[in-house]
Structure 1
């Protein structure tokens, strides 16, 4: 039991020490990002952070070994899995990274974490080597799977943000269309004024149109890229209206009203689910203390004095 507690304490110490080191190194960058987010409502990558990342990759030795690792992973990485991971990276907002580079980062993180965990755990449990090996393998697996779990959480958060931004985005597009601006010009204007994941997706669609794609094809690929049912329904309506030649201003205005109504219905649904979700915490954490406070003195009195 004592060696196991020592392993847990050593692992916690390693995590806290690593967090403190990273916090000390990137303290200025964290402060700058916090201020930018607080005053401008968005996170922008600072020029110093970009410069550090560029300098790190521009190092010939680091770049050489990084390219060797990318080539080795690319040989063993199935094309089908590459497409799935590329799609997941794009849906999570990391479309500028390739699936091969991300898989290489996974391997490096898992190997480094397992090696450091072995250095911390092995000296305290020399007699139980099989348990140490299993624990290290479990840590390696957790470090390998955590980036995928992080991407899934970022994907869910990004979809929620897109659903939240849709009503205001299309409302501004509708106003510009009523003012006489074309659809592409209205979307470009709103994207430049309202940054966010929805604007990034529409900017990519506009770039595809400039490179020769038709509006219908660009909007169809945009619908396929964003895994949000509400957004896909809106884009399908816009594609059909554009194909049939219906006035886009009226269509987008009606879509905006429908989006707001869907958000109200979702809020009502969450409000109706709240009592059910509160039931389990109340049974486990609120009712037992109340019973102890109310019935406890009576039980103690009965035990001490008896029923008489």
Structure 2
């Protein structure tokens, strides 16, 4: 019995030892596998590491813009790029945007405003037709929002050009009459003034430096604006350059004419003031005046009627 007991204890100890050895091997194998995974992650290919190191704009925004551009080209016409580039030139190319970027922004804006309109209708608990109208309105608004922005930017830029042109022509006239050439006078305008007109003169000089003639550079400047006074000035300069007319005398005539036009525009706006003030006068000022004048009389009538 003692021998059997001793043999049983030995077998139990052997079993415990074998179990401990197997567990140790499994633990060691798990550690080795973890180390192998870490080594594989640290020794990843350079392409994967470069892909993860790229900024968010290159990994997500640029592919999104390319997909939106493909959809926008299908929705727009074949001449959409030319028309958008024309609008960008007229607006002064805000943000250095290109036609492709505007097309992609139209598609992204349409999707974003569609989601906003749909979410707004659902949050307000509107009926299905109202939700559909809000979603459709958001879609149209998002798609045409870049066009509206470019239109407003072009309008503001045209107003600024028209306001700055007389002073620029005066500076050109003084510079030419003091002995400078026309190109040097344009450089003085570009250097000593600010705004879109100075940018246009600077771009015109840059185009002349890369090989364009003065007439071509002036015509390009006129094509990038919607201001009739700028086109008239450019036409006069091109004709003077073609026929050999003295630039100083032409600038003097242009300066006097543009001053007269500016005075006439100011007088026209002054004559529009009485018409524009009629609506606030009727709906805002006259009711308050009637309340002040007729209020005491109405109170007196009510008091006498009650007594």
- Using the size of structure 2 for normalisation, the TM-score is 0.73
Rg larger for = 2
1:255 is aligned to 2:280: no
Q: Could you say which residue in structure 2 is the equivalent of 1:235? A: 234
Aligned counterparts of 2:143 and 2:57: Cα–Cα separation in 1: 26
Aligned counterparts of 2:138 and 2:172: Cα–Cα separation in 1: 49
Q: For the structure 1 residues 270 and 120, does the alpha-carbon distance in structure 2 shift closer, same or farther, using more than 3 Å as the test?
A: closer
Deviation at 1:247, TM superposition (A): 0.9
1:204 is aligned to 2:203: yes
Deviation at 1:166, TM superposition (A): 0.9
Aligned counterparts of 1:112 and 1:265: Cα–Cα separation in 2: 46
Deviation at 1:291, TM superposition (A): 1.2
Deviation at 1:211, TM superposition (A): 3.1
* RMSD between aligned residues: 2.6
Whether the 8 Å contact between 2:69 and 2:107 is mirrored in structure 1 is: no
Aligned counterparts of 1:119 and 1:76: Cα–Cα separation in 2: 25
Aligned counterparts of 1:65 and 1:284: Cα–Cα separation in 2: 50
- Using the size of structure 1 for normalisation, the TM-score is 0.73
Aligned counterparts of 2:99 and 2:56: Cα–Cα separation in 1: 18
Whether the 8 Å contact between 1:57 and 1:63 is mirrored in structure 2 is: no
184-193 or 239-248, larger mean C-alpha shift: 184-193
Aligned counterparts of 1:58 and 1:286: Cα–Cα separation in 2: 54
1:286 is aligned to 2:285: yes
Deviation at 1:58, TM superposition (A): 6.0
Aligned counterparts of 1:114 and 1:179: Cα–Cα separation in 2: 61
Whether the 8 Å contact between 2:233 and 2:254 is mirrored in structure 1 is: yes
Whether the 8 Å contact between 2:116 and 2:138 is mirrored in structure 1 is: no
Aligned counterparts of 1:88 and 1:57: Cα–Cα separation in 2: 30
1:274 is aligned to 2:273: yes
Q: For the structure 1 residues 277 and 101, does the alpha-carbon distance in structure 2 shift closer, same or farther, using more than 3 Å as the test?
A: same
Aligned counterparts of 1:120 and 1:218: Cα–Cα separation in 2: 50
Which has the bigger relative contact order, CA under 8 A and spacing at least 6?
A: 1
Q: Could you say which residue in structure 1 is the equivalent of 2:98? A: 98
143-152 or 261-270, larger mean C-alpha shift: 143-152
Aligned counterparts of 2:61 and 2:222: Cα–Cα separation in 1: 39
Deviation at 1:147, TM superposition (A): 2.6
In structure 1, list runs of 5 or more residues that go unmatched: 1-54
| Offset from partner CA, 1:97-127 (integer Å, 9 cap, x none) | 222311211221221122134334424527x
Aligned counterparts of 2:181 and 2:240: Cα–Cα separation in 1: 15
Q: For the structure 1 residues 267 and 284, does the alpha-carbon distance in structure 2 shift closer, same or farther, using more than 3 Å as the test?
A: same
| Offset from partner CA, 1:16-43 (integer Å, 9 cap, x none) | xxxxxxxxxxxxxxxxxxxxxxxxxxxx
Whether the 8 Å contact between 1:56 and 1:62 is mirrored in structure 2 is: no
Aligned counterparts of 1:61 and 1:131: Cα–Cα separation in 2: 34
Q: For the structure 1 residues 305 and 222, does the alpha-carbon distance in structure 2 shift closer, same or farther, using more than 3 Å as the test?
A: same
Q: Could you say which residue in structure 2 is the equivalent of 1:84? A: 83
| Offset from partner CA, 1:34-80 (integer Å, 9 cap, x none) | xxxxxxxxxxxxxxxxxxxxx96862443233234324433443233
Deviation at 1:176, TM superposition (A): 2.1
